């Protein structure tokens, strides 16, 4: 087992490994393989194989300098898209979290300063002390 791990580590010695470009081509390849299963299209299948082979070739490549500059080029070419995607992914996560909170929490405003508060749903009448203006008020949750 240790031998196997050793050999596995050795395999990647001095190789490029998974950089962002390889991760992206790997994901595209995977999506294309899934599409192949859905569409049974030969063209999609060949494209999937090309992406898979290209990814494997880049990961195992010993010309680290060249792969590195390819990756840098890819990063600068796609920085706009990746930033937009990250913002989008963040918004989606934010939305899901908020929806989940709405389910188990009640959000209400302080009657005095409009500071937002939240409390677990189903507690009945609770006394709330506003953390902003220190007003005490009763809220049914």
Considering the complex, state which of residue 60 and residue 133 has its C-beta at the smaller distance from Zn ion: 133
| Residue given tokens 């908020």 in the structure block | 98
Considering the complex, state which of residue 106 and residue 130 has its C-beta at the smaller distance from Zn ion: 130
> What are the φ/ψ torsions at residue 53 (nearest 5 degrees)?
-65, -40
Instruction: Provide the minimum distance between the beta carbon of 134 and Zn ion in the complex, in angstroms, as a whole number.
Output: 7
Assigned token pair, 86? 């990250």
CB atoms within 10 A of CB 55: 21
Q: What is the dihedral of CA 12, 13, 15, 19, to 10 degrees?
A: 60
CB atoms within 10 A of CB 58: 22
Considering the complex, state which of residue 99 and residue 138 has its C-beta at the smaller distance from Zn ion: 138
Q: Rule CB under 5 A: is residue 53 a binding residue for Zn ion?
A: no
Instruction: Provide the minimum distance between the beta carbon of 129 and Zn ion in the complex, in angstroms, as a whole number.
Output: 9
Q: Rule CB under 5 A: is residue 139 a binding residue for Zn ion?
A: no
By the criterion CB under 5 A, which residues form the site for Zn ion? 110, 112-113, 115, 130, 132-133, 135
């Amino acid at each position: 087992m240790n031998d196997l791990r050793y050999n596995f580590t050795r395999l990647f010695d001095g190789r490029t490994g998974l950089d962002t470009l390889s991760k992206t081509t790997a994901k595209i390849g995977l999506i294309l393989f899934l599409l192949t299963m859905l569409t049974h299209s030969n063209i999609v299948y060949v494209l999937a194989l090309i992406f898979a082979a290209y990814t494997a070739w880049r990961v195992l490549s010993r010309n680290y300098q060249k792969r590195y500059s390819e990756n840098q080029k890819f990063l600068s070419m796609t920085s706009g898209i990746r930033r937009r995607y990250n913002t989008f992914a963040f918004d989606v996560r934010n939305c899901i979290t908020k929806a989940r909170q709405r389910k188990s929490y009640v959000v209400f405003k302080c009657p005095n300063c409009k500071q937002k508060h939240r409390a677990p749903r189903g507690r009945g009448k609770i006394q709330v002390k506003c953390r902003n203006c220190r007003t005490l008020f009763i809220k049914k949750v």
